[in-house]
Structure 1
Amino acid sequence: MSEFTHNKQERVNALAHFAREMMATTNKVRLVKANEKLIGEVIPSEVIALFDILVKENDRRDYRILKTATNKIIHLFHLPLIAYPAIKPAKNSFLDVLTQNNTAMENLLKSMKAAIKILNQHPKDQQACADLKGKTHELQQFNKHYLIKENVLFPTLEKHWEDFHCVQLMWSYHDDIRQLMKALLQELNETTINLRKMNRLVGDLFFNLFAIRFREERILFPHILETIPKDVIHQMLLDSLEIGFPYFSPTSIADSDSDIFTNGTMVNLGTGKVSSEQIIQILNHLPVDITFVDEHDTVRFFSTPKKRIFPRTKAILGRKVHNCHPPESVHVVEEIVDAFKKGNKDQASFWINFKEDKILIQYFALRNELGEYKGVIEVTQEIAGIQQLKGERRLLDW
């Protein structure tokens, strides 16, 4: 076993050296020719280890260069990854459901081609424009697939893999796809469609969606089946039902953790004693999303209000907070937490437009009686209705 591990590490180191040279050299043909054997024998676990190294070396500075290199490098790995004898996921298992949603997504992309062709021939064709807009809106539902990966799959991999940093790169691709969908809809809503811009957006969107599917099914999923226990994979299926799959979903499955709070123990809160069940009811009926991160930057709790603003699943519990955000924006969260720890700040507030809502996001530092930092809570609230309040409404007028 040690000989195998040593040999794998040697190959991964060689692949990392090759990748660095690919990003630096202008004579890529010579470099590829010199590494034909290394490239031709690559397997999924080596690709994951390779990009774990490259992402850590990137240090979250600029994913654009790394993503450009990634596309070229994985293209070189295409044939050996296709030939790899991967384990097939069981029917209706977590990875099988993700795969079936990938197939539905690809079929939807293929159905968009007719309208795209008509618009290129007749840019003012209203029916073709309406068809393409409708299918693009339907394609946006596929975002649930990425939300499941980001909120269920990725945190699970962080707990079971040492070389999990490749998921941060994939998350960045997810954000690119979201932006492309949004930009395409904006262009289709213009009075006069810019065909050159539309075709560029469509081309980039198709390329990224197909590329991510290949990387999931030929790299990520095979390695998951080789390394993650079956019960953990099944739990990811249960957790994903809270978000919902975009197009294809398995039949409903009972969650074995539904009776986690049944002992009725009273908790002394200082100003009263309540049961664990009552605490849950209180927190979940507040009109806000609450997430608690302890003093070690680990997610420990989140509330489950009836109307959730951003997705949360139990898979994030025990996850480091800096892994819960896209790589391009995680530095902001880290700056906030660092300011709280140093005592420079006690709160930070932001507000954004999200879908049709106005969202207020606030971070509050938690400190004990001695002023020692004990964590942070994130409180998220929809405030459009609050902004519209005028005059007064007295208690008796409710």
Structure 2
Amino acid sequence: MSEFTNKKDERVKQLLQFAQKMMTSEDKARLVQANENLIRQIFPSEVIALFDCLVLEHPKQNYSQLKKATNKMLHLFHKPLLAYPAIQPPKNSFLYWLAQSNQAMENRLKTMKIAIKSLNKTPTDQEVRKQLLEQLKQLQQFDKHYQIKENVLFPSLEKHWPDFHCVQLMWSYHDDIRQQMKDLKQVLSASELNLQQMNKLVGDLFFNLLAIRFREEHILFPQILETIPEKTIQSLLEDSREIGFPFVVPAYDSTDSDVVFSNDLHVNLGTGQVSAKQIQLIFNHLPVDITFVDEHDTVRFFSTPKKRIFPRTKAIIGRKVHHCHPPESVHVVEEIVSEFKAGKQDQASFWINFKDEKILIQYFALRDELGEYKGVIEVTQEIGAIRELKGEKRLLDWSAE
């Protein structure tokens, strides 16, 4: 076994040297030719190990150069990865349903191509443009596929793989796709259609969607099936229930997963005593999303209000907070936490437009009676209705209408 591991490590070192040269060499054709045997024998596990190394040595907030290079390398790896005798996900398993939603996504792209072709022939056809906008709106539901990966699958990979950092690169591609969908919607909604811009966005969007599908099904899934216990993989299906798969409906386990309280002991909070059940009810009825990260940067709790703004799953419990954010923005979160720990700041506030809503996101440092840092809570709230308040509405003006 050790001999095999050493050979694999040596190949990964060679692949890393090849990848680094590919990012700087002006004679890439000659470089590819010199490494033809290395490329021809590539395995999914080696791609994951290679990309893990590349991510660790690259600045998180700027992946543009890295993504261009990895796109070229994955193009070279395409044939050997396609020929790799991968284990197929069992029917009705977690990975099976991810693959099914991928197929449904590709079917929608084929339908969209018809409208795109028609619009290129007749750019002034408002009916076709409206049709394409509606198809794009439906396609945007595919974001749930990426949310499941980011909030359910990736946390599990962090626990089982030493070389899990490669998923940060995949998350960055997810964000590219999200932005491309938004940009395409804006172009299609404009009073005058910019056909050249539309075609560029469509090309980039389709390429990224299909490229990520290939990387999932020919790199990520085979390695998961070879390295992670089947029972663990299957448990992720239930964890994905809250988000829900796009375009497909799995047969979830009907087991009741509600919290069970073994007793009704009360907790003295200083200003009153409440039971564990009452604490849960209080958190889950506040009109905000709350996530608690302890002083060791580990996620310990999140509330489950009736309407969540951003997805959360139980898979994030025990996860390091810097793994819960996209690579391009994680450095900001790390900076905020660092400022909190140093006692330089106690809160940070941001507000964004998200799905036609105005969202306020606030971070609050938690400190004990001695002023020692004990963690941070993230509080997220939809404030559109609050911003529109005018005048007064007093308690006596209340009615149950």
What TM bracket, shorter-length normalisation?
over 0.9
- What residue in structure 1 maps to residue 60 of structure 2? 60
Distance in 2 between residues matched to 1:128 and 1:59, nearest whole Å: 43
1:99 corresponding residue in structure 2? 99
**SS across alignment from 2:306:** coil
1:234 equivalenced with 2:234 (yes/no)? yes
Contact 2:61 2:329 in 1 (8 A): no
- Unpaired runs of 5+ residues, structure 1, are none
Report the alpha carbon displacement of residue 61 of structure 1 after superposing the two structures with TM: 4.2
Aligned counterparts of 2:269 and 2:137: Cα–Cα separation in 1: 47
Contact 2:94 2:233 in 1 (8 A): yes
Match of 1:338 in 2: 338
Please give the residue correspondences for 1:42-121 in structure 2 after superposition, counting only pairs within 5 Å.
42-121=42-121
- The residue type equivalent to 2:45 in the other structure is S
Q: Which residue of 2 aligns with 1:394?
A: 394
Alpha-carbon RMSD across the aligned residues, in angstroms, is 1.1
Distance in 2 (alpha carbons) for counterparts of 1:384 and 1:118:
39
1:290 aligns with 2:290: yes
| Identity rate, percent | 69
Secondary structure in 2 matching 1:180: helix
Displacement after TM superposition at 1:233 (Å): 1.1
Correspondences of 1:1-398 after superposition (within 5 Å): 1-255=1-255, 257-398=257-398
Q: Distance in 2 between matches of 1:265 and 1:231?
A: 34
Q: Distance in 2 between matches of 1:259 and 1:300?
A: 16
**How far off its partner does 1:258 sit?**
2.4
Runs (5+) with no aligned partner, structure 2: none
Kept after mapping to 2: 8 A contact 1:262/1:277: no
Secondary structure of 2:139's aligned partner: helix
Q: Greater CA deviation, 14-23 or 382-391?
A: 382-391
Q: Which amino acid aligns with 2:241?
A: L
Task: Provide the C-alpha distance between the structure 2 equivalents of 1:263 and 1:3, rounded to a whole number of angstroms.
Answer: 54
Q: Displacement, 1:155?
A: 1.1
- The alpha carbon displacement at 1:159 in A equals 1.2
CA distance 1:61–1:304, change in 2 (3 Å) = closer
SS in structure 1 opposite 2:290?
Answer: strand
Where 2:57 maps in the other structure, the secondary structure is: helix
1:342-380 Cα deviation digits (max 9, x unpaired): 000111111111112111111110011111000000011
The alpha carbon displacement at 1:161 in A equals 0.8
Q: 2:252, 2:225 → 1: CA distance? A: 23
Displacement after TM superposition at 1:255 (Å): 4.3
* Contact 1:238-1:255 within 8 A present in 2 as well: no
Q: Deviations over 1:260-315 (max 9, x none)?
A: 43332322222222211111001101111000000000100000000111100000
**AA matched with 2:276:** S
What TM-score does the superposition give when structure 2 sets the normalisation length? 0.97
Secondary structure of the residue aligned to 1:307 is: coil
Instruction: Indicate the SS of the match to 1:142.
Output: helix
Asked whether the equivalents of residues 184 and 201 of structure 1 are also in contact (C-alpha less than 8 Å), the reply is yes
CA distance in 1, matches of 2:10, 2:344: 46
Contact 1:288 1:381 in 2 (8 A): yes
Distance in 1, matches of 2:230 and 2:266, equals 36
- Which sits farther off after the overlay, 64-73 or 243-252? 243-252
Letter in 1 for 2:185: L
Give the letter aligned to residue 182 of structure 1: K
